[in-house]
Chain A
Amino acid sequence: MKRFFSSAFSRGLLWQLIGTLAGAGLVTGIRALMGLSVTDTFFFTEPAWVLGGLVGAVSYLFGSGVTADWVKWARGMDTPEHPEEHFSGWEKYINVSLDHKVIGIQYTIVALLLISIGGLFALIFRTELAASELQFLTTDMKLFGQNGPQLYNTLMSLHGMIMIVSILLGIAGIMNYVVPLLLGAQDMAFPRLNAFSFWIAVPAAVLLLMSLVLGGFDTGWTGYPPLSARAPVGMQMFFMGVFVAGWSSILGALNVIATVLRMRAKGMTAWRLPIFVWASVATSIIALTATQLIGLSFQLVMFQRLFGMGFFDPAKGGNPVLFQHLFWFYSHPAVYVFILPGLGVISELLPVFVRKPLFGYRWIAMSSLGIALVGFVVWAHHMFTSGMNEYLRVPFMYSTLLVAVPTGVKFFSWVATIWKGKISTPTPMLFVLGGIVVFLMGGLSGPPNATVSTDLHLHDTYFIVGHFHDTIFGGFVFPFFAAIYYWFPKATGRRMNETLGKLHFWLMTPSFFVLTFGMMYIGLLGMRRRIVDYDPALGFDTTHLILTIAGYLIATSVLVFFYNFFNSIKNGEKADGNVWNSRSPEWQVPSPMPTHNYDQAFEVVGEPYDYGLEGSKYIEFSTSAKSKH
């Protein structure tokens, strides 16, 4: 316990607390000197909370020690090129480590933690929605300065953003763990920046959760002004949390791109890159260049609230629709950030379990880039009803529908890969197949939202909610679980339990189909999104009850997963060899991987997915000593 409290994680939290109080105290002191009010509903005034939040987040980084090496450099001191690991076992994961594998697992654990929190929020409001009228989130109840409907809005909004952050951390986790291994690199290009990218996400998550207790906010994760300009102070904590989390995403993406460009094994040319690496590059290009826009748009609202700058205030000549353009310029490409690595996992794992080459490797690689690039010019399809220029809706409809082409290439190529394969279905493969079908549902329910006239009906209904959850479960959640089941032996030297893995799959998948199909169905019938209560006359009670039960079943399946995950670390069946009989380099050496990865450098001598080709090899280990980078 003592070692937990003295870890970088706990030290950071303490520093964040002190930093927050110091920042808020500073503003309060200045306000007192200026004769302004010094307290408000939530003790400090809004400007005090904002500066406190910012100082707190920065303090966390210094307190955790992730900036220690940079501070030493600034003071003219030297640090070793490959620092020793000071910790072993579980302590490695709550302290600063520069090893990309440790950081990848740290990302994954925090992502799973946030998925649980976001999922818990979903269960709370899903329970409220099980029947019409207010059940327990009533106007009489009061929590964190919010009554029931206000709390519903806060939980629903936070569910969205907590899940988004957890997805960003989840993909960063897989990319961090897997990409250097696939490339034959010893680590990421910038190990300290890599650790920084992870650790900055922790205070960001704390800030997001702070919004819950500081009066919450009632805008949804989109935070549209003028509503967000009027929301309680929790809104500012939300903006700040997203702003800080954005740094994690941008810097992490920079690192992935640099690593892929500079640290590939000898002979690993563009067309011999593992397909997951292509997907990681595509997603990183978007994250590196678009994330700034959500930070900017939220920052503008922040300034509107703090300094009265009327960017989006019509009374001061501002324009509320402008916010939506800035916001969606990131937030649409963002969904491709979420799904491209997952689709990469599907493409990476399929050949292993069908024992056949990936069909049309180059087309799949290019389709990831295609989706990433087209994704930049489709944002306004979120705004067909917003009152933006009427005629602009048509070009955005064309560009949006165009996304279907590279996405279709992926589906057809996957089917062709499976066709005539010798298919086995252990747990990771089940999640890959489930991911394909669920993502197909998401893909097919997309075009009606793209064609403007049908979208005028579907927009802001549960149809969108169902469509969106299908794309994210198919593009992220299922492949994420597949990746965890698949690479778990690499990280621990043990396998997760197959029976529990299959139970997880067969509990989650049918429930999820019921959930999203039901959502789309009532959406068509007139169920608006983001409402705490619905008119009993609409007759949605039964469907909502079923949706709630399905939600609980999914949660149960995730509990099974968690039990399996933590239990298998110690008690799983030993598996230190090539568990899945894969051609990929990381499986050619014993598990778990040593700190600086491969003891011997390897050279790429063939195609990555040539299953079924007699005598073909992807890599060859050189006889010389350790690889140099």
Chain B
Amino acid sequence: MRHFVIVGILVIAMAVLTYVGLDAAGVASQMHPVAASAQAASIDQLWNWEIIAMSFLFALIVVPMLYSLIVFRRKKGDTTDAEHIEGNTPLEIAWTVGPLILVVFFAYMGAYSLGEVRRADPQAFEVKVKAQQFTWTFEYPEYGFVSTELRLPVGRQAVLKMESVDVIHSFWVPEFRVKQDVVPGRVTEYRITPTLPGSYKVRCAELCGTSHAYMESPIVVTTQADYDSWVAEQQALAAAAQTPEGQGQLLSVKNGCTGCHSLDGSALTGPTWFGMYGKEEELADGATITVDDEYIVESILDPNAKIVSGFPSPSVMPPYQFTDDELASIVAYLKTLK
């Protein structure tokens, strides 16, 4: 009996210590990264309950084990066997039924929490998300423009309708907590209600190929007023895209080109576009070419035809199809990047 009392006290102490320790590490009641959506609050709450249960169960197994190892260890020279205890049916039933109840409780909590996470707001506004190796693009159908960053006003539910043009990707913003795969051939839905203004990143969470690690795009949560002015700005940009150069820029954004081709000279998966037009380049096979209209068009339609030395071969870029006008406008846009 004395052993049971001591172990009982130690279990409780250990459970409390474990929970306090995990909480201090920032993985229990106050979670890192910061929770930035209404959905995250519900998820974090369930998580905290689970940490409490985990801490208790951890102590419940580990403490009697360690206690036995110390108190009941074999004394030197003792070769006799221990007490012959084969089992205890009521105890076995108790530790079958007890966990069963706990499990059903957590399953209920999990279902409830899932309901909260998926609760649809009829006022939600729609953004179309397009995923492709290795970029995200965001189309705002209400306003008719496309962006490489996702801007959301705080406190309003956004419903993202997501499509993939190539392989499976997964939309994950750690601060929003929720994750949803983007699957070719279907539209998946992601509902989120941002609650905390700030800059975050969507990071692709489903292995999608060579540059999967870098498939990230900025997400900005702002006040409604800032959001409105950003929308006006983007609409103005879209309207300005009547020139061939503007058209080309819009096409490059829409097709996610800038995920792999930087505009500032920095090296990404593909060659930078900055100062590319007119440059002499050495190819993987040793030949030299000048980047001109013909070369650019060929590289868009058949990325594998001529690969600049130092870049992945075979090319990781998929072939694209454009009309002649569109190709001309892209070339016109590239000429402006100096």
Contact = CB atoms under 8 A, between A and B. Distances in A.
B324 interface: no
Interface in B77-135: 78, 80-88, 91-92, 95-96, 99-100, 102-104, 106-107, 109-111, 113-114, 116-118
Nearest to A607: B86
A339 B284 CA distance: 49
A150 B206 CA distance: 15
B84 A422 contact: no
Contact of A356 (B81, B113, B184): B81
A235 to B, nearest CB: 12
A87 B178 CA distance: 61
A387 B74 contact: no
A425 interface: yes
A418 B207 contact: no
B213 interface: yes
B180 interface: yes
A421 interface: yes
Given A397-B110, A418-B65, A453-B117, A320 B80 contact: no
Contacts of B216: 535
A193 B172 CA distance: 48
A387 B210 CA distance: 23
Nearest to A429: B69
Contact of A528 (B64, B87, B168, B172): B172
A223 B178 CA distance: 24
Nearest to A407: B99
Interface stretch (B39-47, B236-244, B291-299, B327-335): B39-47
B107 A451 contact: yes
Contact of B170 (A153, A425, A460, A534): A460
Interface string B31-64: 1110000001011001100100110011001101
Interface in A339-392: 354-357, 359-363, 385-387, 390
A409 B91 CA distance: 10
**Most-contacted residue by chain B among A230, A528, A529 (CB, 10 A):** A528
A447 B118 CA distance: 20
A532 interface: yes
Q: Main SS of the interface on chain B? A: mixed
B72 A531 contact: no
B73 interface: yes
Nearest to A443: B57
B177 interface: yes
Interface in B216-232: 216
Nearest to B71: A420
Contacts of A610: 84, 86
Contacts of A588: none
Contacts of B104: 398, 401
Interface residues of A, number: 92
Contacts of B95: 408-409, 412
Interface in A274-331: 314-315, 318-321
B183 interface: yes
A7 to B, nearest CB: 40
A611 B168 contact: no
A413 B95 CA distance: 9
Contacts of A529: 207
A353 to B, nearest CB: 9
A532 to B, nearest CB: 5
A321 B83 contact: no
A533 interface: yes
A436 interface: yes
Given A140-B310, A226-B167, A416-B91, A444 B58 contact: yes
Given A451-B106, A451-B107, A525-B33, A418 B64 contact: yes
Interface in A418-458: 418-425, 433, 436-437, 440-441, 444-445, 447-448, 450-454, 456-457
A219 B103 contact: no
A422 B81 contact: yes
Nearest to A616: B84
A209 interface: no
Contacts of B53: 447
A218 interface: yes
Given A218-B209, A448-B50, A226 B168 contact: yes
Given A453-B117, A457-B178, A528-B172, A314 B186 contact: yes
Given A227-B208, A320-B184, A521-B25, 16 more contacts: A153-B207, A224-B206, A227-B207, A355-B80, A356-B84, A405-B103, A411-B61, A415-B61, A420-B68, A420-B82, A445-B54, A447-B103, A459-B205, A524-B32, A526-B174, A526-B203
Pairs A-B, 5 closest by C-beta atoms: A314-B185, A451-B110, A526-B174, A531-B213, A612-B84
Interface of A: 41, 139-140, 147, 149-150, 153, 218-220, 224, 226-227, 230, 314-315, 318-321, 354-357, 359-363, 385-387, 390, 393-394, 397-398, 401-402, 404-405, 408-409, 411-413, 415-416, 418-425, 433, 436-437, 440-441, 444-445, 447-448, 450-454, 456-457, 459-461, 521, 524-526, 528-535, 607, 610-613
